[in-house]
A and B are shown apart, each in its own frame.
Chain A
Amino acid sequence: DTGVSQNPRHKITKRGQNVTFRCDPISEHNRLYWYRQTLGQGPEFLTYFQNEAQLEKSRLLSDRFSAERPKGSFSTLEIQRTEQGDSAMYLCASSLAWDRDYNEQFFGPGTRLTVL
């Protein structure tokens, strides 16, 4: 399967713990996006990378959230001191586009986070 993969698929944690999710994009894609989806809502943009550079961050991305893409391939999203409001599906997507171009995003299966 050469699609976007995410690990783990499910994560249950206690409030106050740190969690880290991983996303592996489609191999030739240079852009990688993170979204959060809560029940009854569409995905909400969190941040995106072009290669290893984090180019845009949403106001939703509080200082407890950090994302990295150190070698321009896979990415990690870390949430520190989790809160019950962080419970959501975290989606990763990737695309291939250059400069100011835009292209469609391909989504992974998501990581479902439950904070107890």
Chain B
Amino acid sequence: AQSVSQHNHHVILSEAASLELGCNYSYGGTVNLFWYVQYPGQHLQLLLKYFSGDPLVKGIKGFEAEFIKSKFSFNLRKPSVQWSDTAEYFCAVHMNYGGSQGNLIFGKGTKLSVKP
């Protein structure tokens, strides 16, 4: 079955540290890729997305992600995190198969705690 893996359950960083959160998916066909963020007490918000074109995509708040097709990966990065980046981050993949238009598969999420 298709799946999305996020390698880290909980990441703790100090402010100004660099961040990289891993995401891998298991599907060899066409995909649309997303990172969503959920700040404490808030709902899921789209951070960035990849549909096609340049595999390095930039999102809001200085986040970026790189799609590496050969590795089935879509890792999220930020050069310097801030305390306000404390949140839970979800990788999500839409896999175009069998006419499926709705099936967005999420990873289990990574909690990021940034120490001031």
Which A residues lie at the B interface, using CB under 8 A?
Answer: 31, 33, 35, 40-45, 47-48, 50, 55-56, 58, 91, 93, 97, 100, 102, 104-110
Contacts and interface: CB of A to CB of B under 8 A. Distances in A.
B57 to A, nearest CB: 12
A73 B34 CA distance: 25
B90 A48 contact: no
A44 B106 contact: yes
Interface string B20-47: 0000000000001010100000111110
Contacts, number: 60
Interface residues on B, range: 20 to 34
A50 B103 contact: no
Contacts of B101: 31, 48, 50, 55-56, 97, 100, 102
Interface in B1-34: 4, 32, 34
